[in-house]
Amino acid sequence: MSEIIIEPELPIIDPHHHLWDWRSRVALLPPETHGFDAVLRQSPRYLLDELVADTGSGHNVIGTVYVQCGAFYRADGPEAMKPVGETEFVNGVAAMAASGVYGQVRACAGIVGHADLGLGDGVAQVLDAHIAAGGGRFRGIRHMMAHDADPAVLGPLGHAAAGLTGDPAVRQAVAHFAARGLSLDVWVIEPQLPGVVDLARAFPDTAMVIDHVGTPVGIGAYAGRLEERFAGWAANIRALAACPNVSMKLGGLAMPFAGFEGMGPGTRPSSDVLANAWRPYIETCIEAFGAERCMFESNFPVDRWGADYPVLWNAFKRIAAGASADEKAALFAGTAARFYRLEGLA
């Protein structure tokens, strides 16, 4: 869908996107059974050229943060160290972008990688290897913790064990973050948020950010219950906001998990339609955390399932239309720059 870009000069740092190349795997996918299958079919290859095409599609995207997705792991060596290959790859992409050859955007100015937090104290050497591989760009870890007993909710992304936020080994691992100045990206779904509150309280010196507004769910076992569960989601958001070490990413709502009507690969809603659907979640987060701890995110190419890149950012700008200039500066760039320590970008 083509739309006129709203506030085209407003600087944006996109603090959550991925890069991957799964062309060889797409042909092996089974018939579509979940939204993520459609994501891979839409974007089997999403590397620097594709990212630059999206960030250059009309909005003033000046920088980005890469977040782990299991891409380009090392083929050899100790299992625990294989994810360091992702950081090595992304740092190379960041160097390409920093050359200016690909335009103004400083892609992957910050890097969030993966380490198996189940290693407990053994994670320390993996963290140090990421830092060494990141060329000064490595900022933290995401170990995806999203889990639900109903496999229809998360589909192929439902591979995490239950209860990771309270797992003793995971907590041993997180204890190594603060001393290294590393942050923790947390992706869970809404029913898991109480565990995240407990984790955040246990590590007040560790900067954490909640991905995708805590991922409200309205499919599988939760089908038809999105509105019913809103109050519980909002209460947990406010509990998280009471933890000064926690920030919030505003996005991820173009994934299939919420079950919004009229959204998906077969339809391209306008930014006005998207804004109306997403507004209650995003406004609740901003009210709870304040603009200084919230950052809009694209989650591309995953969120392409429900929205095109320029339309998605138009939707965010519609939601933030009533914000002050200072609040907009924080929501669209400043918070991301501060949280991920992106000196010189905002």
Position 230 pLDDT exceeds 60: yes
Task: Say what the pLDDT of residue 41 is.
Answer: 81
Q: What is the pLDDT of residues 233-267, one digit of tens each?
A: 999 999 999 999 999 999 999 999 999 999 998 89
Model confidence at 34: pLDDT above 80? no
Share of the chain above pLDDT 90, in %: 89
Q: Kindly report the length of the chain.
A: 346
Q: What is the pLDDT of residues 186-213, one digit of tens each?
A: 999 999 999 999 999 999 999 999 999 9
- Using one digit for the tens of pLDDT, what is the confidence trace for 109-160? 999 999 999 999 999 999 999 999 999 999 999 999 999 999 999 988 888 9
Contacts 24+ apart (CB under 8 A), 38-45: 38/264, 38/265, 38/305, 39/301, 39/302, 39/304, 39/305, 41/265, 42/265, 42/301, 42/304, 42/305, 43/301, 43/304, 45/20, 45/21
Q: What is the pLDDT of residue 295?
A: 99
Q: What residues contact residue 31 under an 8 Å CB cut-off, 6+ apart? A: none
Strand (E) positions, 10-137?
11-17, 20-21, 45-46, 60-67, 106-113
Contacts of 43 (CB under 8 A, 6+ apart): 50, 301, 304
Distance CA 35, CA 157 (A): 10
Distance CA 314, CA 95 (A): 29
Q: What is the pLDDT of residues 316-338, one digit of tens each?
A: 999 999 999 999 999 999 999 99
2 token code pair: 């083509």
CA distance 305 to 43: 10
Angle at 127 between CA 77 and CA 78, to 5 degrees: 15
The alpha carbon of residue 36 and the mean position of all alpha carbons in its chain are separated, in whole angstroms, by 15
CATH topology of domain 11-339: TIM Barrel (3.20.20)
Domain boundaries, the chain: 11-339
Place 23 in a pLDDT band, splitting at 50, 70 and 90. confident
The model's pTM is 0.96
With cut-offs at 50, 70 and 90, classify the pLDDT of residue 28. low
Q: Which residue type occupies 42?
A: Q
